[in-house]
A and B are shown apart, each in its own frame.
Chain A
Amino acid sequence: MRHFEETLYDAVCQQFRIDKLYFENKTDHQHLMIFHNAQLGRVMTLDGVVQTTEADEFVYHEMMTHVPMIAHGNAKRVLIIGGGDGGILREVLRHPVNHATQVEIDSAVIDMAKEHLPNHSAGAYDDERCHIIIDDGMNFVRESTDKFDIVIVDSTDPIGPGEVLFTDDFYGQAKTCLNDGGVIVTQNGVPFFQPDELQTTHRRLGNHFADANFYCAPIPTYYGGFMSFGWATDNSELRRTSVDTIRERFDALNIKCRYYNPPIHSASFALPQYMLDMLDGDT
């Protein structure tokens, strides 16, 4: 019986049984697997790190999408960097947007996800509002003259292929793609085990935005408790949007979520004391 053992930390690791291997890349200088696990459904791993599982992807994708979209209140154009599995795109297209651009570095990722993780995109790639661009995320934000209301950075970890998406330069360039009052949100790791990541991102986002902050949600298979999402915008009011306003907008959407709801939205900006201390220690 084969097992996948996560390799993030020396002293602790989570282990998943591989019940059926659907995909394993053979050639590149990385190790990508999609397999079935009785408890978690389909699981995708990259170089020893869990990327997504069918059982809990809803927490991540709903929170990464609906929090900025509903806080903004009138997002029409959305930019997704990464997110090849299609989960973010699926959630974005549940909103009345006109346009979603997704920038993925490798078209093979999308093809592979469509085939082996079909429930993630759930047909989103066929929606005519979506535009797929195969390019390096850094390159795209540097060169594009398009403007967006929301930028969602659905990256891998800072040690790995997505490294550039955590740089000061990337955040600065991404800002030039935002309309006034727009929001950028980023995947920012599990601060309980990765405090440096929280501190670094805080500093770097703060160099470019009036409001650089975080919100969180626990993703069961991102071991370590709360995952943090970077939140940056020049409209500092967005983060404090009242729960009643959020509820109004959410009700108008008429969608059903499994993790997200208006009180969770508001509460997700309340950070546990250990995270506040990490951010304080960073001044």
Chain B
Amino acid sequence: MTSPHVTIGSSDEMQTHWRQLASQYGSPLLVFDAKVLRRNYQELVEALPGVQLFYAVKAHPHAFIVRVIEQLGGGFDVASGGETDLLLQLKVFGRRTIHTHPIKKDAEIRTALRYGVTTFVVDSLYELEKLIPYRGRVGVLLRLSFRNLGAAVDLSRKFGCSLTEAPEIIARARELDVHIKGVSFHVGSQCADASKHVEGIETCCELMQRMNEHGGTPMNVMDIGGGFPADYNRQGVDIHKFCAPIRAALEQLPDDWDILAEPGRYLVASAVTSITTVVGKSIRDNVRWYYLDDGVYGSYSGQIYDHACYPLQVLRTGESFPSVLAGPTCDSIDVIAEGIELPELEVDDLVIGHEMGAYTAATRTRFNSLPDARLVDLGTGEIDG
């Protein structure tokens, strides 16, 4: 387990803020700050001028977040009928949504079409053929694979065709009269830098131009996926700087192409903060164990599934001891952090988790039948759960 960034102590103002939230809404709690989401969105828009943003709903499928993205004029990237349903319930118009899961059931395609999605992603001949009945309606993106060992999550092992397979799939699509309007890729989530994005853009551009030379329906859409990082180690993420090589690569593309991106993590990670409470403590082998009311089966599930390590904060200061923060379930894997130095905490102390908006609540389980952390919208006071 990598060690999280830990902040010891906090300003009086923030202490009061978190204590008030915990006493008003209970613990464990997730606190959503729409202002932060808006700022992240605006920064990404400025870092990627001319790129249409489709929020990857999977990162945090919640009405509070969807509403803000909709107000900002953003689009949505869905990967399942459940995500489509959320947008339908919120009356988000289907034309702002793309479906990006390369593998889907026929029923899934129909649900998406019915809702109003017409952009679908395929990465094999098998998936292409599933769209034959709907070819009069859809525009398809062909997903390519770019392996990325530098990302926290490599998304190109399971999905994406190789550059050498692509021409065959495109040719077959033309025979079948299924319109492939462009390509997509996802170079992996939580990327260290944008070099893989650049490689993806350049390679796809070359492929699209080569295919366009053969005539037929031109391809003119490039979807550069997600991968924009959250600031888990608190060194500061300068998204404008991160995207500079991407901007430079996009400059080289023909002006009349449409460029899309599917950011999830970057938009929502810092917009949600977790509040948990110490419910018990013990000292074993000179190590202080603190048992919290949320853990890796709950909001901290991303530490298992998403390989994330969230920055933590305790409110007390004082002499530090080797400590472990553990979650509430009976399983011993349910440990949030160990090998960290913390001041002596007491029962009822709060532990704050930062950058906890992406792939956190989205992947939690019901293990031990513990209640989910509730989500509160800081701006409106609306509470869910």
Contact = CB atoms under 8 A, between A and B. Distances in A.
Mostly helix, strand, loop or mixed at chain B's interface?
mixed
B332 to A, nearest CB: 41
Interface stretch (A76-84, A189-197, A229-237): A189-197
Contact of A193 (B110, B117, B136, B138): B136
A48 B88 CA distance: 10
A5 B95 contact: yes
B89 interface: yes
A76 B152 CA distance: 72
A108 interface: no
Given A48-B95, A195-B136, A29 B89 contact: yes
B174 to A, nearest CB: 15
Contacts of A207: none
Contacts of A4: 93
Interface of A is mostly: loop
Contact of B137 (A10, A26, A31, A160): A10
- Chain A interface extent, by class: 20 to 34
B10 to A, nearest CB: 41
A24 B91 contact: yes
Interface residues of B, number: 22
A26 B95 CA distance: 19
Contacts of A30: 88
Interface string A6-20: 011111010000000
Contacts of A160: 114
Contacts of B119: 10
A106 interface: no
Closest 9 CB pairs of A and B: A7-B116, A10-B139, A48-B116, A10-B118, A7-B94, A5-B95, A48-B94, A159-B113, A159-B114
B318 interface: no
20 contacts: A5-B93, A7-B115, A7-B116, A8-B118, A10-B137, A10-B139, A10-B179, A11-B139, A11-B179, A27-B89, A29-B88, A30-B88, A31-B88, A47-B116, A48-B95, A159-B110, A159-B114, A160-B114, A195-B136, A196-B133
A195 B94 CA distance: 23
Residue among A29, A30, A160 with the highest chain B CB neighbour number at 10 A: A29
Interface in A21-58: 24, 26-27, 29-31, 47-48
